[in-house]
Amino acid sequence: MLQTSQSVTELPGSDRRVSWIVGRRFLRHNLFEVAESLPDAKRKSALGLLVRKWSPFPSTGFSAQWVGNKASVYAWDAAQISSAIAAAGIDETRATVWPETFFRASHSEGAVLAAMSDGVEGQVWRRGLLVATRWWAEAPPARDWMLFLRAAGVDLSQASPAVPAATGSELLTGPWTVAATPITDVWSLVQNNQAAAIAAAVVAAPFLYFLTEAAVLSIGTWRAESAIAGMSAANQSVRTDRTAALTNLDAAESYLSLDDMPSQFELLATAADLIKGRRISISDWTFDSGNLDLVLQADRPMEAAFYIEAFERDEHFSNVTGSLANQEKELRLKMQVDHKTWPAS
């Protein structure tokens, strides 16, 4: 069964187990990453907690494509889909819900505009993982397409500015994620009320795990603080050398002024002005040979396109790209720093 914005279409196949395919316009997509040290079973539990924290739906169903410790997740309103299944006269316990994308052709690398049942989906693939998507009712204008690529961290110097033609594909007989999904992946198979009740009991397991991890972290912190206290006297000579080095700061800065790049103090002040008043902090900063990488962090999801355009408009920066992580609360920006234009003497 294929559910679109217009209708529910019955597809040929076995009547013993129903695949309920949800049209792309009803889905939300995000990329999640869990700790590599977690075993497979606990990765699924951790992902379930992350998805439900991020999801905008009061009751969430989801399915995931796993590559290593990264999961490409589609989520949907579980109550709305359950109502549609019941309205179609289908026993929900016989139905497995899937996102439409998992029944369309998969890719391994690059940006694709894929035709869906009720629109088109922009997709960015890296090493077989679907890292970013966006749905449009029809082919997007060039500006929206380029903003999507920037937000996904695509190198625009290697991308065509033209919107690609939408590539269509027939619905597959089964989801292409199944071959790569272990049968123990209960989170991707939780699609009905009975299974959800079983999964609820499983949710308690990760809490015990994280409680243990917190205790281990506390002990590690105490040991680290003790080691730092012991090292304080030993590194006295290092602090003395540092004090001596700072006395030569003026001379060092005079040499640095020969560089035609803006100073890092100037760049940092500019970046701070661009995010001023938005409750966002800069958590990482790397500046090397005219290339600047920085990471913005917030306590709520960010709009990558807004910050990419803000930095692009500033006279200091160009070729700005970005990618979201950590439930869209972390934005990594890459850009080039333009050379200073010195006044004529």
Strand-pairing partners, residue 167, are 114
Do 147 and 220 lie in one domain? The reply is no
**pLDDT, greater one: 242 or 187:** 242
Q: Is residue 58 part of a domain?
A: yes
For 260, phi then psi, to 5°, come to -90, 10
Report the alpha-carbon angle 127-128-130, nearest 5: 105
Do 266 and 142 lie in one domain? The reply is no
Name the residue among 100, 120, 111, 134 with its Cα closest to residue 168.
120
Q: Is 258 exposed, middle or buried (0-12, 13-18, 19+ CB in 10 A)?
A: exposed
pLDDT in tens, 223-233: 777 777 767 66
pLDDT in tens, 143-199: 999 999 999 998 888 788 889 999 988 899 889 998 655 444 444 444 444 444 455
Cα separation, 79 vs 138, in Å, equals 27
Is the Cβ–Cβ distance between 47 and 68 less than 8 Å? no
Is the Cβ–Cβ distance between 47 and 60 less than 8 Å? no
**pLDDT, greater one: 201 or 30:** 30
Q: Mean of the pLDDT values across residues 113-133? A: 94
Q: Is residue 345 part of a domain?
A: no
Q: What is the pLDDT of residue 112?
A: 93
The conformation of residue 165, written as its DSSP 8-state character, comes to P
Do 181 and 212 lie in one domain? The reply is no
Sheet strand arrangement including 70-77:
28-33, 70-77, 60-67
3-state secondary structure of 185: coil
Is the Cβ–Cβ distance between 64 and 136 less than 8 Å? no
**Quick one: CA dihedral 151, 155, 159, 165, positive or negative?**
negative
Is the Cβ–Cβ distance between 81 and 61 less than 8 Å? yes
pTM of the model: 0.56
Distances (CA, A) of 209 to 32, 45, 203, 212, 223: 19, 11, 11, 5, 22
Q: Strand 18-22 and strand 2-3: pairing?
A: parallel
Do 31 and 174 lie in one domain? The reply is yes
Cα separation, 331 vs 297, in Å, equals 6
Q: Is residue 255 part of a domain?
A: no
Do 187 and 228 lie in one domain? The reply is no
Do 175 and 233 lie in one domain? The reply is no
Q: What is the pLDDT of residue 108?
A: 92
Do 185 and 320 lie in one domain? The reply is no
Q: How many folded domains does the chain comprise?
A: 3
Do 179 and 301 lie in one domain? The reply is no
- Across the chain, mean pLDDT equals 83
Task: Provide the domain limits for residue 264.
Answer: 260-337
Is the Cβ–Cβ distance between 65 and 104 less than 8 Å? no
Cα separation, 115 vs 104, in Å, equals 9
Q: What tokens appear for 159 in the block?
A: 């991308």
Of 22-31, 40-49, 103-112, 173-182, minimum mean pLDDT range:
173-182
Do 30 and 89 lie in one domain? The reply is yes
Task: Count other Cβ atoms within 10 Å, centred on residue 115.
Answer: 14
